[in-house]
Chain A
Amino acid sequence: MAIRPAIVGVGQTYHRSKRPDVNIGELCTEAVRAALEDAKLPPEKIGAFVVGNMELFEGRYMQDMWQTDFVGAVGKPLIRVTTGGTTGGTLASVAFEHVASGMFDLVMAVGFEKQSEGDTRAGLKTVADPLWNRWQTTGAIGYFARVATFYIKETGAPEDAGSRVRLRLARHAARNPHAHLRMDLESVDQVMKFPYLIPPLRQSDMCPASEGACAIIVASEETARKLPRKPVWVDDWTSVHKEMVYVRGGRHSTADLEMAADRLFRRNGIREPMKDISVAEIYAPATWAELEWLEAYGFCEKGDAWKLEEKGQFHFDGPFPVNPSGGVVCTNPIGATGLIRVAECALQLRGDAGEHQITRKPTRGFSTAWGGSGWTVAHLLSADGL
């Protein structure tokens, strides 16, 4: 890597199922102002912008054209990135690449979603090939119902394993002022009362449709050292596509998650992920996926995640905190979701996460984004002064 990038500012809106008080541009401005304030930078210092959201969800194309005025990018380089569910993760990767290339000193990435403006169910279906399988898709819920089915079958996890994950995430979200669903859930039994969407997947297992935005500011090492915030170093990042529905025939596979984590861990000398990494903010849109994917990333053996969950290992004050923000299951403004993972990781590594700050000493962070049933983006961050 030519130039070492650092995250020097993060900002996000609060997240709700509906934000009728602001239009899309104004929603982005909220996150941008928060990030600038966090970095203590005036807007004119930012050299380039990367913006993004889901296609089709709000029914406005060339969203970048309308966002420019609202993120402070008039007259500056700006590109739009839209890679489905991974959009937020890719926004961060592209901002890192802008800085690593030596082209820019300060780059801002902005992701947003305003899901109530369109129909997410219809939007997600159009991801599928109209000539082959668009008719058969059941969107994210169908996909994650299968994840749950497979997980139970393959690991012998009990029916309440997903609900235990939700209970942890609810407790985390209750401590995070930015989280969307901050429900007061106290017991697994209480979570198990939520209705099924597609058995064994319950409503409580699935992420909400949120509206919100997130922005991060990335600087070169030289610039980062001069700024007031403690920098969070970006050590590495990658993305993996796997072969899509063809051949697999819709069979569930976690190959993309395995490859992405394995590549990052190997390149960075991480041999015991749970020891070497102090916090994970992973993009898992459903509770069951969180369990399965912790195993796929290599944090624990196959079939062990639900057992570790039962022992409370993944709590924010536990030995290996997973999604101390409350995760995607509590907040999902899709185009921002992957970027929120990066931003939350950065806050943890800076020690600025407030009520949901992990108690373990923050050293390295792992954040991911996932989408399109076959694409993973992963980032490895580290705290300053390690």
Chain B
Amino acid sequence: MEEREERLSQERIMEIRYRWSAGPYLGRFLAELRDKGKFYVVRCPGCERFLLPPRIVCSTCYTRIPEYPDGWIALSGRGILLDWQRVIYPQMDPETGEVRDEPFLHGTFRLDHDLLFVHYLGPADLDEGRLQEGMKVEMVMKPQEQREGKVTDIHYFRIVED
């Protein structure tokens, strides 16, 4: 083959729909979050670890976790900011095939019982320059009518002034 010949490709979009079963543990967690704005964790009766999100079995001691409400504990929604990153490079959303290019902040938070959780840090006009490790944060839910039974029903975590 000569070097400069035109090379062809086929462009296409693959679109597949899914229905994911959340199951009685994560399903209950998402339902409580959506309906009551409550953020639940469970405590493993075997090793006494707190598990986030709630699930059927402890992955290290293999103890079966009871279903809601036995051993389910609602967190306060408050915590401490550990670290944060400004995501500035474009992200493709695999649900839409669209590229999201506006920057946003991700934070890691220490919640009750030393549980760690990563979520958006907001609001959008938050001044990144004043962020400090150890700042107090709290969970901000979306308005009831916008909630979908997803973790993103938590709009973001905001800084709480002392």
Residues of A within 8 A of B (CB): 20-21, 59, 117, 119, 121-123, 125-126, 130-136, 138-139, 141-142, 145-146, 149-150, 196-199, 243, 246-251
Q: Which residue of A lies closest to B23 (CB)?
A: A131
What is the bound-complex CA distance between A205 and B87, given in angstroms?
16
When A141-B89, A198-B88, A198-B89 are in contact, do A249 and B52 touch as well, CB less than 8 Å? Answer: yes
Q: Which residue of A lies closest to B89 (CB)?
A: A197
Kindly list chain A residues whose C-beta atoms are within 8 Å of the C-beta of B93: 122, 125
What is the bound-complex CA distance between A139 and B87, given in angstroms?
11
Is B150 a contact partner of A122 (Cβ separation < 8 A)? no
Kindly list chain A residues whose C-beta atoms are within 8 Å of the C-beta of B117: 249-250
Is A125 a contact partner of B118 (Cβ separation < 8 A)? no
Question: What's the nearest-Cβ distance from chain B to residue A249, in Å?
Answer: 3
Kindly list chain A residues whose C-beta atoms are within 8 Å of the C-beta of B88: 196-198
B53 contacts the other chain (CB 8 A): yes
Is A249 a contact partner of B116 (Cβ separation < 8 A)? yes
Question: What's the nearest-Cβ distance from chain B to residue A145, in Å?
Answer: 5
When A122-B94, A250-B116, A251-B116 are in contact, do A243 and B59 touch as well, CB less than 8 Å? Answer: yes
> A-B pairs with the 4 shortest C-beta distances?
A249-B116, A250-B118, A122-B94, A122-B92
Is B26 a contact partner of A246 (Cβ separation < 8 A)? no
Question: What's the nearest-Cβ distance from chain B to residue A240, in Å?
Answer: 14
Kindly list chain B residues whose C-beta atoms are within 8 Å of the C-beta of A139: 91
What is the bound-complex CA distance between A125 and B18, given in angstroms?
16
Residues of B within 8 A of A (CB): 7, 9, 12, 14, 18, 20, 22, 26, 30, 49-53, 55, 59-60, 83, 85-94, 97, 106, 108, 115-120, 150-152
Is B83 a contact partner of A149 (Cβ separation < 8 A)? yes
Is B91 a contact partner of A132 (Cβ separation < 8 A)? no
Our pick among A119, A136, A246 for the contact of B59 (Cβ within 8 Å) is A246
Kindly list chain A residues whose C-beta atoms are within 8 Å of the C-beta of B14: 59
Kindly list chain B residues whose C-beta atoms are within 8 Å of the C-beta of A246: 51-53, 55, 59
Kindly list chain A residues whose C-beta atoms are within 8 Å of the C-beta of B49: 247
When A196-B88, A198-B86, A247-B51 are in contact, do A135 and B152 touch as well, CB less than 8 Å? Answer: yes
Our pick among B7, B108, B152 for the contact of A21 (Cβ within 8 Å) is B7
Question: What's the nearest-Cβ distance from chain B to residue A378, in Å?
Answer: 22
Our pick among A130, A146, A243, A247 for the contact of B85 (Cβ within 8 Å) is A146
Is A138 a contact partner of B92 (Cβ separation < 8 A)? no
What is the bound-complex CA distance between A59 and B61, given in angstroms?
38
Is A138 a contact partner of B87 (Cβ separation < 8 A)? yes
Can you identify 18 A-B contacts, CB atoms within 8 angstroms? A59-B12, A119-B97, A122-B93, A123-B94, A125-B91, A125-B94, A131-B30, A132-B26, A134-B94, A135-B152, A136-B119, A136-B120, A243-B60, A247-B49, A247-B51, A248-B116, A249-B108, A250-B117
Question: What's the nearest-Cβ distance from chain B to residue A52, in Å?
Answer: 20
When A119-B92, A142-B106, A249-B117 are in contact, do A135 and B52 touch as well, CB less than 8 Å? Answer: no
Kindly list chain A residues whose C-beta atoms are within 8 Å of the C-beta of B22: 131
Among A196, A243, A247, A250, chain B packs the most CB atoms within 10 A around the CB of: A247
What is the bound-complex CA distance between A21 and B9, given in angstroms?
10
Question: What's the nearest-Cβ distance from chain B to residue A66, in Å?
Answer: 14
Question: What's the nearest-Cβ distance from chain B to residue A29, in Å?
Answer: 15
Is A251 a contact partner of B53 (Cβ separation < 8 A)? no
Question: What's the nearest-Cβ distance from chain B to residue A285, in Å?
Answer: 15
Our pick among A134, A145, A243, A250 for the contact of B108 (Cβ within 8 Å) is A250
What is the bound-complex CA distance between A374 and B64, given in angstroms?
24
When A121-B91, A247-B51 are in contact, do A133 and B118 touch as well, CB less than 8 Å? Answer: yes
Kindly list chain A residues whose C-beta atoms are within 8 Å of the C-beta of B108: 249-251
Question: What's the nearest-Cβ distance from chain B to residue A124, in Å?
Answer: 9
Is A198 a contact partner of B119 (Cβ separation < 8 A)? no
What is the bound-complex CA distance between A145 and B105, given in angstroms?
13
When A131-B22, A146-B83, A243-B60 are in contact, do A136 and B106 touch as well, CB less than 8 Å? Answer: yes
Kindly list chain B residues whose C-beta atoms are within 8 Å of the C-beta of A247: 49-52, 59, 115
Seed contacts A135-B152, A197-B88; 6 additional CB < 8 Å A-B pairs? A122-B94, A133-B118, A136-B120, A138-B91, A138-B106, A251-B116
